[in-house]
Amino acid sequence: MVTRVLQYEEVHGIIRVSFPTGNYDKAEYPRTHIGYPNTVLVKAAPHSVSHPLTDVAAHRVPAGAARIVWLCLIVGLSLLVAPSVPVSAARLYASGPQHAGRELFSSEVGDAYICSQKMIQRGPERCPPYGPGARQVRLDYLRARLPSPLPELSVEEIDVDEDAITSYTFAYVRPLPAATYGHPEEALAGIPPTRQFLAGDNWVSVAGTIEYNGQTWYEINTGEYILADHIAISRPSTFSGIVLNEQPQHAFAFMNRDTFAAESPGGPQRKDILLKRYSRVTLFAQEARGGQLWYMIGPDQWIEQSTTARVDVDARPEGVGPGDRWIEINTFEQTLAAYQGDRMVFATLVSTGRTGTWTPNGLTRIWGKLPTTPMINRDVTNDSPLWYYLEDVEWTQYFFEAYALHAAYWHNSFGFTRSHGCVNLTIPDAKWLYSWTMPFAPVDLEIVYSKQADPGTWVYVHMTPPASNVLAAR
């Protein structure tokens, strides 16, 4: 049944609409999107509009005339609208869109009216994409479009033994201050230290240990020792990305935290489906709910966008040739994808620059490659909280000024911003990219520069959030 809107008033941003049966407040829709059940007209200004099923006018109606109009509408619409019956998903989609290129709801009606729940169920293509029951119609539609069985992307994991990720043993220097000596006996003799770690983040490589005068000392460089009390041995992340055997047909994502799937967007959690951090999911559709974007990963399985790092197959940037190798870094998603022309061949998580040291956008080329190098913040002194000293940073590839792709052994925050501007990768991912990119760099060479005859691989950095108005994901 479609009910006439007799009169309305706006009080403090809330629309009060007068029905024959009483007054109801509704604040969920803006002034032109009032979502009352059994209501068609929602225009805030007095004028007439046309609905595919009936015409309704918005203006104040005298009380006596209101009763007459009310009765006429009931009688007239009872002849126009068939009795309500449940509509199965099969029937709904048989008359609705059959492919992603056709919209589920009308894009021509604007905000002139809103359909009743029964109208939306019977003919969503004649209704605007809001109103009572519209969300459920969308969710049913998306569920019915899920492929069966759900496809699995053909990939290969980077097979690296946890004990063979790197030949280095890395350690964090703390507490500070901490001093190093040419030999432990120099500390006992009161000889000034070789150097001191005073502030900031300091990471070193441990080459060996010795016992001297009842104390344990670590050798961090040839002829440089530090007391073991100032050393915390750390193990690098074991996460690695994927090598793709085929072009993805759907967007996919890496989970950036442990998350239970939900039954529906914003709905109850499914305690039987726990998605672990760094696991991978395929995104079949998306739905906005309450300012959040939700992804469908299976039947009655939804995850909220902020728990993911999404990867889409994107077009080559202008200037990149059809056969060129190029790397795409989306700093919004904190993901990296490697392409050969239009074909995605690799994807993983990264950590790019955080606020204040953001990784710059743009299209550049790799200009230099080093299998290992120290990294130091030379903009400050070693007593500054902003100081950092990182020994033996592996698989470093400079692509713009001093910004580089490189391994990061000092954290496991991939999928979140973390760096001072460089693109952090796990050691296995950084090594895979190092061997894949141009110019080719034998590991026994300390540094390789790109040349005009041997240009470096393209690197494209951008910050692009997911499009929230897309009904079905690619």
Point out the domain boundary residue: 180, 199, 234.
234
Residues 66, 157 within the same domain: no
C-alpha span between 308 and 12 (Å, rounded): 38
Question: Looking at this protein, which amino acid is placed at residue 51?
Answer: H
Low-confidence spans in the chain with pLDDT less than 50: 1-102, 472-474
Specify the residue for token string 């039947």: 299
Residues 219, 251 within the same domain: no
The pLDDT value recorded for residue 112 is 67
53 contacts: CB under 8 Å, gap ≥ 6: 2, 40, 80, 81, 119, 126
Residues 189, 259 within the same domain: no
Point out the domain boundary residue: 144, 175, 198.
144
The pLDDT value recorded for residue 305 is 96
Instruction: Give residue 212's domain range.
Output: 167-234
Residues 87, 217 within the same domain: no
Q: Is 60 exposed, middle or buried (0-12, 13-18, 19+ CB in 10 A)?
A: exposed
Beta bridge partners of 389: 202, 376
The pLDDT value recorded for residue 111 is 64
Peptide linkage before 439 cis (omega within 30 of 0): yes
C-alpha span between 473 and 297 (Å, rounded): 11
pLDDT tens string 184-220? 999 999 999 999 999 999 999 999 999 999 999 999 9
C-alpha span between 223 and 160 (Å, rounded): 32
Q: Is 452 left (phi over 0), alpha (psi -120 to 50) or beta?
A: alpha
Question: Looking at this protein, which amino acid is placed at residue 407?
Answer: A
- Count the Cβ atoms, other than its own, within 10 Å of residue 90: 8
Q: Is 433 helix (H, G, I), strand (E, B) or coil?
A: helix
Point out the domain boundary residue: 96, 111, 144.
144
Residues 198, 261 within the same domain: no
The pLDDT value recorded for residue 469 is 62
235 contacts: CB under 8 Å, gap ≥ 6: none
Residue pair 11/25 in contact (Cβ under 8 Å)? The answer is no
104 contacts: CB under 8 Å, gap ≥ 6: 96, 97, 124, 125, 129, 137, 138, 141, 471
Q: Is 407 exposed, middle or buried (0-12, 13-18, 19+ CB in 10 A)?
A: buried
Specify the residue for token string 């190798």: 325
Structure tokens at 340: 């050969």
The pLDDT value recorded for residue 427 is 97
Residues 158, 173 within the same domain: no
C-alpha span between 334 and 306 (Å, rounded): 11
Residue 142 per-residue DSSP state: H
Residues 115, 173 within the same domain: no
Strands 201-205 and 388-400: parallel
CA dihedral angle for residue 62, residue 63, residue 64, residue 69, rounded to 10 degrees: 80
Residue pair 369/439 in contact (Cβ under 8 Å)? The answer is yes
C-alpha span between 171 and 208 (Å, rounded): 12
Structure tokens at 196: 């001191």
Residues 85, 191 within the same domain: no
Question: Looking at this protein, which amino acid is placed at residue 173?
Answer: V
Residues 72, 23 within the same domain: yes
Peptide linkage before 62 cis (omega within 30 of 0): no
Residues 154, 171 within the same domain: no
Residues 206, 159 within the same domain: no
pLDDT tens string 392-450? 999 999 999 999 999 999 999 999 999 999 999 999 999 999 999 999 998 788 899 99
Residues 408, 261 within the same domain: yes
Counted domains in the chain: 3
CATH number at residue 267: 2.40.440.10
The pLDDT value recorded for residue 35 is 33
The pLDDT value recorded for residue 221 is 94
